[in-house]
Structure formats: C-alpha cells, structure tokens
Amino acid sequence: MKGAAVSLTIGVDVGGTKVAAGIVDRQGHILEKLRLPTPAASPEGTAKVIGDAVLELLGRHQIEAVGIGAAGFVDETSSRVLFAPNLAWREEAVKKHVEERVGVPVIVENDANAAAWAEVTFGAARGRRHVMLITVGTGIGAGIVLNGELYRGRWGIAGEPGHYRVIPDGRLCGCGNRGCWEQYASGNALVAEARDFARRSPGAAVRMLQLAGDSAEKITGLEVSQAAREGDAGALRCFDIVGGWLGQGLADLAAILDPGCFVIGGGVSDAGELLLGPAREAFSHGLTGGSHRERAEIRLAELGADAGLIGAADLARGR
Amino acid sequence: MKGAAVSLTIGVDVGGTKVAAGIVDRQGHILEKLRLPTPAASPEGTAKVIGDAVLELLGRHQIEAVGIGAAGFVDETSSRVLFAPNLAWREEAVKKHVEERVGVPVIVENDANAAAWAEVTFGAARGRRHVMLITVGTGIGAGIVLNGELYRGRWGIAGEPGHYRVIPDGRLCGCGNRGCWEQYASGNALVAEARDFARRSPGAAVRMLQLAGDSAEKITGLEVSQAAREGDAGALRCFDIVGGWLGQGLADLAAILDPGCFVIGGGVSDAGELLLGPAREAFSHGLTGGSHRERAEIRLAELGADAGLIGAADLARGR
C-alpha cells in the first residue's frame, strides 16, 4: 500500500495571477488540481499561498515531494529563484521557505524546463533524447533536454533563446536589449504585426478589424487566428511573418545544438499549422548544411497549459 | 609493463593540406608526432595516408586506439564523416576504412569537438563542466562540453554556431546562407574589415599598408595584429569590430546554454586581449538578464594547434 501511495507528487505552477497545484501520478496524470490567486507583489505571500495549496492537497493524499515551476531564473541547485519577471521574487530561497511550511522535500524549476521535461516524458517528444521545447506565448520560453536529461546550464539559467539577438539594433525587448528573438517570433509579435497591418492597410485587414470591433488596438491573437482559419490573406500574412521568424530561430538553434525534435508549445501554438507551416519552411531554408544532415522534427506540444505542473511534479519525484 | 604500454593512444588531425598524427599519453602529452601531405581530393588516398601515419607510429609504440579529428560533420556514432568542406569525404566510412588498414579501434570526431575535449581535460578549462570552445580561424568552429561530457547532438553535428544568423540578408557565407556569425567574427572577417578600411581610408590605414607592401589586398591577419600591437588606431578598430561581434555571439550562446566558461582558440586568438578585450565588453553588454546572473569566464585556449590531435587521442581512450 505504501509503495502505491509514495508514487504521487505535487506539481505547482506559479503564474503572475494564479497558483495552480495538482497531484500527479507516475504516468503524468493529474488526479486533483486546485487554484489560488497569486499575491505577486509579496514574496512571502506567494510562498504562503503555495504552502496553503500544498497543505490542502497533503490533507487528502500521501505524497513524496513537491515540484514548483515558475517563470524566471532558477539556480542550478533547484532551490532559489534568482529573478522572476512577473513576481516579486529576487534571490528568493523558495525551496527552503516552502519546505518549512509543508514538511516534505521541495524542488524549484524554471516553468519551461518543467514543461520540456513533461513533453519528453509524457507528451509530444516521448522517447526522444535531444529535444528543445519552445513555448510561444506573450514571449518565448524554452526548455532543453539533452541525452535524455534536462539541461540546466552552469548556473541554472540555460534555455533562454528568446533573448538571443536576431537583428542588431532591432525592436526593444523587456530584457533591456534590442533585437531579441521573442520580439519577432512570439504572440506579442503576432499581435503587433496584425495591429500595425490594420493601421496601415485597414482595407486589407477588414476581417480582423470586424472581429475586433473595428479597432486595430483591440486585435488580439484570437482575432488573428480566427481570420487566418477563415483564409483571410492579411491574417495569414501575419502568421507567415511570425512563423518565418520562428523557423529561422529553430534553424539557428539546430546549428548550435542539433536536436532531434523541436516541440512548439505556448498559447500561439494553438494555431497549429498556421504557425508551424511557415516555421517549417523557414527552418528548411535557414538550416546550415541542410543537404548533408537529417532534419529535426517540429511537433506541436501535447500537454497544453498543464505541462509545467506535470513536469515539475515528475522532476520532484526523481530527486 | 603492459599496463603502462596500453595507456597510449594515437591522435590524428586531418587538415586540408596535411595529416598530423601523434602518440599521446594519459596526461595529454605528445610523445612523438609526424606529418604527411593530405591528398584531399581522394577519399581513399586520405584514408591511406592516415593509415600509413598510424602504422608508422604503431611500429614504435603499443597503443590501444586511434582518434581522428576532422573538420566537418561527423555522425553520432563517431564512425562516418558526412561532409567535410576541405576534403573529398562525403558519407565516408572513415572508422571502417582506417580500422581495416591499422587493426586497432578507431573513432572519428569533429576537430573542434576534439579540441574542446582537450581544453577541458588538459587545457584552459580544466575542472569546468559546462564549456564552449570557440575557434576563431578562417571561419568559426565550436565544441560543446556539458555536464562534463562532450555534447554531439542527435546526429553528431552539434556545435556549428558559426552558422547561426546574426544579420538577416547579411554577408554571403560559404554554407550558402547569408548573415552567418562566422562572416562577422572570424579571421576572414578581420582581414575583410582591414582591407575594406585600407581601400576606403588609406591615410588612416597607413601602418597596415606599410606592413603589407602598400597593397590593401595583401593585408592578412598578421599585419592587422602587428599594427594593433603597435597601437595603430585603424588596426585596433578592426579588432574592436570583430571582437564586438564575437562577444555578442557569446552573449547569444550564453542565453541559450548558460556555460560557465568560453574558451577562445584558433589562429586569431593569438592576438590575445586585442580580440578578447572588445569581446568581453560586448558580451557584458549583450548578455540578457545580466544583473541577475553570474557571468561566464572568457579564456584563451592553451593547447594551440595540437588541441584537436590531443583531444581525439583522449576521446579514443575512453571508448
């Protein structure tokens, strides 16, 4: 009985607005999940909410460990969050603070790293050993699995290709630099492209404008996707541009890391082939030495928004 | 006695003009080395010359294995050279052909991978576990050591950052694409910068022109380096530009891989701080999240032109 009981762990996904915590089994299934609002401005408050969620689940299940996934820089010992753009955590000893509250072992992991681990273990890249997950959301996140293991880097902050430079003196990025990949290949880039197009060529963007209440500023990813699915040329052009930047970036990453598989996740990946079609074309075109090498697969993520929670839970099991 | 004898391996460095083969001990010392011309246009001829060199050394030493380093794509099983820009090898079963000639186990490795292994094991990055070697020569080569192991990628072709794109529609590269890093941060780029400068501003490039017999087309890396060491502003400007591109590339690679140490080798690294000074400055400037993270070291390679031979020999020992 005990053997079965200890096969459960808790995964926690800490976002800027809510904390999701779930009981996860060895097969990556979520048995129960709950959500609480994140007091993002308070480092202690955020740790307390995580603790509350874990304690509530602990009251109903026997678990062996807790894995916390958070957007940000997590140190190489999976203990401290060095910096989190959407939370007040700065050099925060998250592992220690949550362990003190809940009394079971805790690890912390970058959310995209956790999601990459989940996709390799249970999702789109099962059985592959060299995989990059690229999450295309407001920005770009990434997790890298090499030789079948999550690769964290010397200080734990590997996997931030969203901030490699694709254009000198390009668009200003939230990181303070200019020309970062995520300014060209993210959901924000898709929306910026559509709004700019609608302002400059309202006649050609009429369908996107209709869907957005006739205001270029109200166009979001949803309107671009819907118009593109209907075959609207202006919306398809936006996906071609952003997908093209995505595929060029994958070609650059393949030159450096030669993965066997890219998994594309994040909200924009819901657009499916609208995004992946132009990405695959740009990837083939941009890949160096293309005629003398195998091409990496480019696949859609399978685990959706739960990937980070599931991956964090599974990584906690392994420690 | 036998225990001591089998601790030797042979490393072979296959270049476009010559084959160097050497006896290497466990400490990375070369006990004997010989060179033969490479019949680069003949795949069989090249394998024969390697075999001849190995057999000559085998006549005088007892060795356990042979490691061959070559510029090009080497498959993930360290057996076949898929493509070598300076040799006629295409999908060439080098391991098999050389083993048939010499009768001892053979492995094949990309030359920059072998050099990276040597620098981590015996050279500038001893004791470091997450290291990228960047060789700045006519082009840019690289080898990646992660978690203390050489990282080859899914198909063996990881470590070609010289062909990630730094400028859309940039300079034409030998690989067929445009805007590759090695067109901006290599020895060829340094020379192109200096010649262009001398053609456009001969008055400001007077020292480089003097050293090159008053012809912009005769300026090579040697003249640029000598003039820069003398403090010549024009030559220093060339190093600033190329070193700046080098440092930006290191910042991009750090965003992706977070290594603890970059080792800079290749012929241009003989210029030392002339190259590394501006590279370090651009690296600091371009590194994303710089205020929330540790900075990777940027060190000069220590093993020089023998690094590939030594590394190939040591990698052969391990199999």
Q: Is residue B105 within 8 Å of residue B94, measured between CB atoms?
A: no
My answer on whether B192 and B269 are in the same domain is yes
Structure tokens at B7: 């601790």
Which of B76, B154, B182, B263 is most worth mutating to test chain A (most A CB atoms within 10 A of its CB)?
B154
My answer on whether B173 and B264 are in the same domain is yes
Q: Does A260 touch chain B (CB under 8 A)?
A: yes
Task: Tell me which chain B residues have a C-beta less than 8 angstroms from the C-beta of A160.
Answer: 255-256, 258, 288-289
pLDDT exceeding 70 applies to what percent of chain B? 98
Task: Tell me which chain B residues have a C-beta less than 8 angstroms from the C-beta of A166.
Answer: 165, 168
Report for A77-91, A196-210, B84-98: range of highest mean pLDDT: A196-210
Residue A122 is assigned to a structural domain of this protein: no
Q: Does B83 touch chain A (CB under 8 A)?
A: yes
Q: Which residues pair with B20 in a beta bridge?
A: B13, B35
Q: How many domains, chain B?
A: 2
My answer on whether B245 and B263 are in the same domain is yes
My answer on whether A296 and A196 are in the same domain is yes
pLDDT at A6 > cutoff 60: no
Model confidence band, residue B101 (pLDDT cutoffs 50, 70, 90): very high
pLDDT of res. B16: 86
Among the listed residues A127, A125, A164, A120, the one whose alpha carbon sits nearest the alpha carbon of residue A256 = A164
C-alpha distances (whole Å) from A120 to each of A117, A134, A141, A309, A314 are 5, 13, 16, 14, 11
My answer on whether B134 and B182 are in the same domain is yes
Model confidence band, residue A1 (pLDDT cutoffs 50, 70, 90): very low
Residue pairs spanning A and B at CB distance below 8 A: 148
pLDDT of res. B6: 52
pTM of the predicted protein model: 0.96
Among the listed residues B91, B94, B41, the one whose alpha carbon sits nearest the alpha carbon of residue B70 = B94
C-alpha distances (whole Å) from A54 to each of A14, A141, A307 are 12, 26, 18
> What single-letter DSSP state applies at residue B85?
T
What kind and span of H or E run contains B318? Answer: helix B307-318
The larger pLDDT score, comparing residue B3 to residue B304, is at: B304
A277-299 core/surface letters (b: 16 or more CB in 10 A; e: else): bbbbebbeebbbbbebbeebbbb
Q: Does A31 touch chain B (CB under 8 A)?
A: no
Put simply, the answer to whether B154 touches A129 (Cβ < 8 Å) is yes
My answer on whether B150 and B239 are in the same domain is yes
What is the per-residue pLDDT across B236-279, written as a single tens digit (0 to 9) for each?
999 999 999 999 999 999 999 999 999 999 999 999 999 999 99
Average pLDDT of B126-150?
97
- Domain extent, residue B244, equals 127-301
- What whole-number distance in Å separates Cα of residue A43 and Cα of residue A65? 22
* B window 143-162, beta carbon within 8 A of A: 146-147, 149, 151-162
Task: Tell me which chain B residues have a C-beta less than 8 angstroms from the C-beta of A182.
Answer: none
Put simply, the answer to whether A165 touches B259 (Cβ < 8 Å) is no
Structure tokens at B16: 């476009």
Residue B122 is assigned to a structural domain of this protein: no
The larger pLDDT score, comparing residue B15 to residue A280, is at: A280
pLDDT of res. B3: 46
Average pLDDT of B218-233?
97
Task: Tell me which chain B residues have a C-beta less than 8 angstroms from the C-beta of A260.
Answer: 154-155
Of B156, B161, B286, the CB nearest to A177: B286
Average pLDDT of A205-227?
97
- What whole-number distance in Å separates Cα of residue B282 and Cα of residue B270? 19
My answer on whether B297 and B310 are in the same domain is no
Residue of A nearest to B148 (CA): A154
My answer on whether B107 and B134 are in the same domain is no
My answer on whether A95 and A167 are in the same domain is no
My answer on whether B254 and B133 are in the same domain is yes
Task: Tell me which chain B residues have a C-beta less than 8 angstroms from the C-beta of A295.
Answer: none
- Which residues are CB-contacts of B277 (< 8 A; sequence separation ≥ 6)? B239, B243
What is the per-residue pLDDT across B170-212, written as a single tens digit (0 to 9) for each?
999 999 999 999 999 999 999 999 999 999 999 999 999 999 9
What is the per-residue pLDDT across A163-180, written as a single tens digit (0 to 9) for each?
999 999 999 999 999 999
Model confidence band, residue B290 (pLDDT cutoffs 50, 70, 90): confident
Q: Does B243 touch chain A (CB under 8 A)?
A: no
Residue A153 is assigned to a structural domain of this protein: yes
CATH number of residue B186's parent domain: 3.30.420.40
pLDDT at B4 > cutoff 70: no
Put simply, the answer to whether A256 touches B129 (Cβ < 8 Å) is no
Put simply, the answer to whether B165 touches A166 (Cβ < 8 Å) is yes
Query: So what's the ipTM on this one?
Result: 0.95
Average pLDDT of A279-287?
97
My answer on whether A153 and A277 are in the same domain is yes
Dihedral sign, Cα of residue B89, residue B92, residue B94, residue B100: negative
Instruction: Give the strand order in the sheet containing A90-92.
Output: A73-74, A81-83, A90-92
What kind and span of H or E run contains B264? Answer: strand B261-265
My answer on whether A71 and A108 are in the same domain is yes
